Amino acid sequence: MASRAAHKRLTREYKSISENPPPYIQAHPSETNILEWHYVITGPEDTPYHGGQYWGTLIFPPNYPFAPPAIRMHTPSGRFQPSSRLCLSISDFHPRSFNPAWEVSTILIGLLSFMTSEEMTTGSVSATEAERRMYAARSRWWNSTGGGSHLKRDSKAGKGNIKAGDGGLKFKSEWPEIDAENWAWMRENKIDTATGMKMVEANPASCGPQLGIATGSGHQAHAVVDAVIQQREAGQGWLRNNKMLVVGGIIFIYVLIARLLGEGTL
């Protein structure tokens, strides 16, 4: 439970950050626990995180601001291990270096600055720019579906259960408006909610001439096509088998016509 001083301080900071949010950053305390804050960082331009949506938490101690919060980023980013405590000078790894004058906005600006650097620490990971761009492209899907785990019927967002297995329920409970925007974005861009990948459309129909056959019964359609093919092959087969007879008939008719014409000129 927050101390009276911590409650008062965090209430004031929420009002401040709501009225004047830092660039690329949104944050608010949980409705049930003022010591549990949720933030969303939008990846800045000219970084591999551009367009990404990075959700995380700040868990403040009861004696804040005389001790720093635990900092986690839950959305996979290619920069931090998802949901792992981060060792930063502004986090609970270094309580002695924390300045009580620092506010929530100061902490989140520092986190964003560290994120866009390449400095390594406990909780950070190495990745290529291409990998980080891939994570950025899938971040909105991951937040709202829990990494696709929303399809599991037994998905539950229990206390502290902030991970892929919660089906995106925790994110939705904290960021309902952003969650609704994410689902609209997935529908518009035809994102497979099971995988986070863009769905591949079926090959377009052939533009060649189509048979005018009803599609009510596939077997009937095949039967009609087979009958046509058989008739055509039967006609071609008779011509092949009686080629000499046809040629002889043509020659006989030609000679007969020639004789008749010759007799008529006498």
SS3 letters across 45-105 = CCCCCCCCEEEEEEECCCCCCCCCCEEEECCCCCCECCCCCCCCCCCCCCHHHCCCCCCHH
| Dist CA 108 CA 111 (whole Å) | 5
Burial classification of residue 135, based on how many CB atoms lie within 10 Å of its CB (0-12 exposed, 13-18 middle, 19 or more buried): buried
Q: Is-catalytic flag, 207?
A: no
Residue recorded with tokens 């092949």: 240
Q: What is the reported pLDDT for 212?
A: 41
pLDDT of the residue at 168: 92
**In this structure, which amino acid lies at residue 260?**
L
CB 84 within 8 A of CB 57: no
What CATH architecture is 4-188? Roll (3.10)
Determine the Cα–Cα distance for residues 58 and 255; give it in Å rounded to an integer. 107
Query: How far is C-alpha 256 from the chain's CA centre?
Result: 82
| Per-residue pLDDT at 152 | 76
Catalytic, out of 67, 70, 87, 137 = 87
Q: 179 Cβ partners below 8 Å, 6+ apart? A: 143, 144, 168, 171, 172
Q: Which among 180, 101, 194 is positioned nearest to 145, based on CA atoms? A: 194
Q: Consecutive 10-residue runs of the chain (266 residues): their mean pLDDT?
A: 95 97 97 97 97 98 97 97 96 95 97 97 96 98 93 54 72 97 96 91 53 42 46 52 61 64 56
What DSSP element (H or E) covers 36? Answer: strand 36-42
Write out the H or E segment, with its range, that includes residue 248: helix 243-264
Amino acid identity of 196? G
pTM, two decimal places: 0.74
Radius of gyration of the chain (CA): 37
